[in-house]
Amino acid sequence: MNLSKYDPTRKTVGAIYCDAQKKGADPVENGDLTRELQKSLVDDLNETIKSNPFDDRPFYITIHESKDLQMNRMIRRRVLVSLYRPYPEDDTVVFYTDPKLNMTKYCWCLPHWSEMDNILNNQQSFHPDLVADIYAWKTNNLKHFGFGEHEGKPFDTLKNRDRIVGKENPRVVLTT
């Protein structure tokens, strides 16, 4: 009953959520939410990097977090890996990692499209890199995200704006 089609040894997310609600699980207070999300994001990134899914080949990690409309006390996080640079989509955070060099770079973080105009209207309150990323996304400027163009098709130029995580003046710093 309510078993995952992909892994029959596990319950579905909906079944786990319903069980937690029936047991009267303590809701997370808003102040705790950001801390817990950041901590679990770092854990998920570290586990993904350690998993080395492409046998020491460099790869990209895309994080997509969204609020689930049916489960109002849940935030869904998907961690996707790919060999090639992902297309910039809203509501994603992208990292590049090279297991051989033990290096991880931050590529970009784009908010949900519904938040972008508010950020652009209040630019003074946000980091200039975020504002630049939003302008590039809205104008479909793929060069800004590290892509070139050949015969009208985008490709990864490898001359991108990625920054090593934890270095001087980063856009994001990962700590546990």
Q: Does residue 81 form part of some domain?
A: yes
pLDDT band at 133 (very low <50, low <70, confident <90, very high): very high
- The closest alpha carbon to 141, from 124, 127, 160, belongs to 160
Report the share of the chain in percent with pLDDT over 90: 38
C-alpha–C-alpha distance, residues 80 and 98, integer Å: 16
Side-chain half-sphere exposure of 81, counting CA atoms within 13 A: 17
**DSSP 3-state assignment of 32?**
helix
Residue 4 CA to residue 14 CA, distance in Å, equals 10
Report pLDDT digits (tens) over 71-124. Answer: 777 788 899 999 999 999 999 999 999 989 888 898 999 999 999 999 999 999
Q: How far, in Å, CA of 96 to CA of 56, rounded? A: 13
Q: What is the pTM of this model?
A: 0.71
Residue 69 has what pLDDT?
73
Kindly state whether residue 23 falls inside one of the protein's structural domains: no
Asked, for residue 148, whether it belongs to a domain, the answer is yes
Assigned domain for 20 exists: no
Which two three-digit tokens encode residue 173? 């710093």
What is the pLDDT, as a whole number, of residue 131? Answer: 94
Quote the domain boundaries for residue 80.
29-164
Query: Could you give the 3-state DSSP secondary structure of residue 94?
Result: strand
Q: Is residue 21 one of the residues assigned to a domain? A: no
Residue 76 lies in a domain: yes
Q: Does residue 19 fall inside a structural domain?
A: no
Closest of 71, 106, 113, 72 to residue 91, by C-alpha: 113
Residue 149 is assigned to a structural domain of this protein: yes
Residue type (1 letter), 69: L
* pLDDT score recorded for residue 57: 93
Which is more confidently placed, 143 or 164? 143
Work out how many domains the chain is built from and give that number. 1
Number of H helices, E strands in the chain: 4, 7
Amino acid letter, 105: K
